[in-house]
Chains A and B, each alone.
Chain A
């Protein structure tokens, strides 16, 4: 089947060589514009709030539900906890709660899928844009909970909602 080229509109109606000159002008203009390169080690990059740099743990929010470690595709989250029973002040049954002993993420295994952050029901895990935590030894890439807590100081506030977006739903049970 022959292709009918007579209807084609993408052919510019210009004389021979105009495309060549246009090409030259594009490269020349690009040269005169400032380069987009960021001189990284000298200049820190300006990263957006949703950058997946490192995962931070806000320990106070963690209820040791193990959802993150169970959902983790490569099992790089290690959680140890024990149960404590708090005797009520006056009568009634003792209140049992879990206490976090260890929370560690092995960044040598982590593939930055972010499922743990998504799945966390109590906002204990956050993305931080920090990315400079390379190590000379592999076991140093296992960040224990104190180090994960430090990453929370670098978490950026979430970007504002887009114009016309629905507001975030109020948390169940109202304000506490």
Chain B
């Protein structure tokens, strides 16, 4: 791991300090701060966007101005709650599960570039790292479901696992199409390769497939079978409360940020701006993450939940063949141009 970190070059932190440990601490603090603050913003956006899409106002009281402090108030409430572990639960696994669900998304943020030099780490194998990490999170969900000693939790966890297996493939295949065109696997390299043309243009179907698979990966509506609250209470999180539950929520919103960030890097040119609009690179990246997060929330407001068999059928019979076909197209584009 230290070897990997030592390879990190070109990050803005290295320009300030040559001390390895100081740079490491600075980067860690920056990533953690990002992970703790930005998902709150997305959570607040979800409150407001969902409310307005239903003709409501959403939170209006906390923090005086349009309820901006609602999520902070929620967090304070979660901290005050009693930390309950069911008597029959496997205490160690039950306690570890929220962390296992959350950490992978922090790890993804590490490699997310906000400009040519503003990132924590530019791994050569960036996109592989991201894809590997994004599938670790479900282990946390499985741990939660198994250790809760609750049938609803277990069903939810198994659904989550089945869903991950089905949707990990189209996610990876969509990313593979981009990697073929870009010719590099590092996140910064993929962004730089899109300087003239964002990959959303030649690979639009792959972009759609990636977004759909991301929704499924995050168990967001219309793919929220694992937490389908009308049938299995809250899936794997049924027995959780207080801070542990808050960590799962944080993992969900952190996941939205992380996967929106990846989609922005892969298809929307990452921190590259549109010509003629002078904005700093990090602002462009933030705008794209915000836009894609909005789309994720928009889908939640619009679509009802799929049935479990529809969900599997859609992945195996529609998304995977389609993404394979578009990988062929990507290969053709790569050779032809």
Residues of A within 8 A of B (CB): 20, 23-24, 26-28, 30-31, 33, 35-37, 39
A23: chain B residues within 8 A (beta carbon): 302-303
B57 x A30 contact (CB < 8 A): no
Looking at the assembled complex, report how far the CB atom of A18 sits from the nearest CB atom of chain B, in whole angstroms.
Answer: 14
How many residue pairs, one in A and one in B, have C-beta atoms under 8 Å apart? 34
Q: Is B32 in contact with chain A by the CB < 8 A criterion? A: no
Q: Please tell me if the beta carbons of A27 and B53 are within 8 angstroms of each other in the complex.
A: yes
> Which of A20, A24, A30, A39 meets B54, CB within 8 Å?
A30
B55 and A27: CB pair below 8 A? no
Q: What's the least CB distance linking B79 to chain A, in Å? A: 28
Question: Cβ of A30: which chain B residues have Cβ within 8 Å of it?
Answer: 52-55
Contact residues of B between 40 and 78, Cβ < 8 Å to A:
49, 51-57, 60
Out of B52, B60, B299, name the residue touching A31 (CB < 8 Å). B52
Q: Which residues of A contact B299 (CB under 8 A)?
A: 24
CB neighbours (8 Å) of A31 from chain B are 49, 52-53, 301
Question: Please, how many residues of chain B have a CB less than 8 angstroms from a CB on the other chain?
Answer: 14
**Partner-A contacts on B (CB < 8 A):** 49, 51-57, 60, 298-299, 301-303
Within the assembled complex, what's the spacing in Å between the Cα atoms of A30 and B57? 12
Determine whether the beta carbon of A37 is less than 8 Å from that of B57: yes
Q: Chain B residue with minimal CB distance to A42?
A: B60
Residue of A nearest to B52 (CB): A31
Residue contact A24 to B298, C-beta cutoff 8 Å = yes
A residues less than 8 Å from B301 (CB atoms):
27, 31
A27 to B301, CA, bound (A): 7
* Closest residue of B by beta carbon distance from A35: B57
What are the nearest 3 A-B pairs in CB distance? A27-B53, A31-B52, A37-B57
Give Cα A89 to B213, complex, Å: 97
Contacts A30-B55, A35-B56 given; 5 further ones with Cβ under 8 A?
A24-B299, A26-B302, A27-B301, A27-B302, A31-B52
Q: Give the shortest distance, in Å, between B305 (CB) and chain A (any CB).
A: 14
B51 to chain A, nearest CB (A): 7
Which residues of chain B are near A35, meaning CB under 8 Å? 51-52, 55-57
The answer to whether B60 touches A28 (Cβ under 8 A) is no
CA distance A35 to B47 in the complex (A): 14
